[in-house]
Amino acid sequence: MTTRSSRRLGAPEWSRWAFVVLPLIISIPNLGAWWSWALFAVTLVASTPLLPATEDFRPAWLQPAAMPVVVAAAGALWVLEPDSWVSVAMFSTTFYTMRAFGRVLSAVVLVTSGAAIVAWAVVHRLEWLNALALFAILVVMVLLASSRRDRAARLEQTELALARAQTATEEHARAAALAERARIAREVHDVLAHSLAGLALNLQGARLMLVRDGASPDAVAQIERAQKLASDGLSEARKAVAALREDAVPAERTVADLLTAYRLDTGARADLVVRGEPRDLDAGVTTALVRAVQEALSNTRKHAPGADVDVELVFAESHVELTVLDRQGRRPPDAPAAGYGLRGMAERVALLEGKLDSGPGEDGWRIHLTVPA
């Protein structure tokens, strides 16, 4: 990649200015009248925008505006001083303008150069063949400038075509990768997730049959562990499907999975009621809701094993409300102090500028939180 500082040191940038200044310097001994010196000064000053060092400081309009001035001043000086090399400055600036700028500016400098040739031929009574040769120089410059412009346009079109082809290739590869990931996600969901869900239900039935038939506690414990593994595997399979599809798991789906795992683990009822229109939530809000349900279910397992659980998730216009209530059938005693789980839940909700209430209700422990969303 070529940087601006390296371009400043390149020969083409400096040569544009040199082709104007060097002929002026060589022509100094031939200058006589004051108007020749005035035209010399105008040409020199107008050529300064060609300097690469002025690129960072000059306005965008300055260089295009200076090109006709350089051509006109150099052409007039050439007419006044026919033995000088100032014509090189006029022709080189004309060529550069036609190569680097638009058609309107190119036409202006081309007409200016043609007028200078006509004036030179008339003032100095030039033969028509010599005048024709000077005009031939203009024609050659037009052809060369057109060729350079066409070449630059072809190179730009080629680079653009290569960039588009590369973008299309990358998009095609990405589409193929997404299609393959979607296929794998479907296979995981349709085969593995369904199999794990069926396995968890069968293990739940086997556990209930063992308890009914008075099986040994070790056998029941083994079935419970297998049931928990199946439930955890189902949850992980759903997370894997979401990751393959690059989709965030909705909060209501994650809470429903937690309640499903609780039902399979304890055999108790665990219901979820969703009110309002579910929508995508920020990652922080979703995490707070999910962690609150996890902590509530963990406390229920610890302090009220086998209790039914009711969860209500309300999507309001500006906030989301979550209520978790375990049905112990009695009013639980007040907790002497909030545990680390409840403290962490309160801190997470506070960071979201939400509100958390937890405490005993009429027939169980109640957790209610509200977070902006």
Cα torsion 125, 105, 94, 33: sign: positive
Q: What's the pLDDT tens digit per position in 8-45?
A: 334 466 777 888 888 888 877 777 788 888 888 888 88
Specify the higher pLDDT residue, 121 or 190. Answer: 121
User: Please, which pLDDT band fits residue 185 given cuts at 50, 70 and 90?
Assistant: low
Condensed to tens digits (0 to 9), the pLDDT of residues 158-175 reads 888 888 888 778 777 777
Above 70 in pLDDT, residue 285?
yes
pLDDT in tens, 125-156: 877 777 788 888 888 888 887 887 778 778 88
Query: Would you kindly state where each structural domain of the chain is located, as residue ranges?
Result: 4-126, 251-373
Give the model's confidence band at 1: pLDDT under 50 very low, under 70 low, under 90 confident, else very high.
very low
Q: Which of 265, 327, 257 is closest to 289 using CA atoms?
A: 257
- Return the CATH architecture of domain 251-373: 2-Layer Sandwich (3.30)
First-to-last alpha carbon distance for the chain, in angstroms, is 46
pLDDT of residue 247: 56
Q: With bands split at pLDDT 50, 70 and 90, how would you rate the model's confidence at 290?
A: confident
If you average pLDDT over residues 296-325, what whole number do you get? 89
| Confidence check: pLDDT of 323 > 90 | yes
The tokens describing 112, both together, are 């200016």
Q: What percent of the chain has pLDDT over 90?
A: 8
Nearest C-alpha neighbor of 64 from the set 14, 16, 109: 109
3-state helix/strand/coil string of the chain: CCCHHHHHCCHHHHHHHHHHHHHHHHCHHHCCCHHHHHHHHHHHHHCHHHCHHHCCCCCCCHHHHHHHHHHHHHHHHHHHCCCCCHHHHHHHHHHHHHHHCCHHHHHHHHHHHHHHHHHHHHHCCCCHHHHHHHHHHHHHHHHHHHHHHHHHHHHHHHHHHHHHHHHHHHHHHHHHHHHHHHHHHHHHHHHHHHHHHHHHHHHHHHHHHHHHCCCCHHHHHHHHHHHHHHHHHHHHHHHHHHHHCCCCCCHHHHHHHHHHHHHHHHCCCEEEEEEECCCCCCHHHHHHHHHHHHHHHHHHHHHCCCCEEEEEEEECCCEEEEEEEEECCCCCCCCCCCCHHHHHHHHHHHHCCCEEEEEECCCCEEEEEEEEC
Given this model, what pLDDT does residue 2 score?
A: 38
Q: In whole numbers, what is the pLDDT of the chain averaged over residues? A: 80
How far apart are alpha carbons 311 and 327 in whole angstroms?
11
Identify which has the larger pLDDT, 147 or 356.
Answer: 356
Query: In this structure, what token pair is assigned to residue 262?
Result: 């609780």
pLDDT for res 223 = 82
Res 312: pLDDT: 94
Identify the pLDDT of residue 368: 92
Write down the pLDDT at residue 187. 65
Return the pLDDT at 274: 93
Q: Model-level pTM?
A: 0.40
pLDDT, tens digit (0-9, with 9 covering 90-100), for 187-226: 666 666 667 777 777 777 787 888 888 888 888 788 878 8
pLDDT band at residue 339, thresholds of 50, 70 and 90?
low
State the Cα–Cα distance between residues 267 and 253, nearest whole angstrom: 20
> Is the confidence at residue 186, as pLDDT, over 70?
no
Predicted pLDDT at 10: 42
Residue 87 pLDDT greater than 80, yes or no: yes
Q: What percent of the chain has pLDDT over 70?
A: 86
**Token duo for residue 296:** 């509530």
Q: What is the mean pLDDT of residues 290-308?
A: 86
pLDDT at 8: 38
Average confidence (pLDDT) over 311-339 = 82
Residue-wise pLDDT for 39-72, tens only, equals: 888 888 888 888 776 676 778 888 888 888 888 8
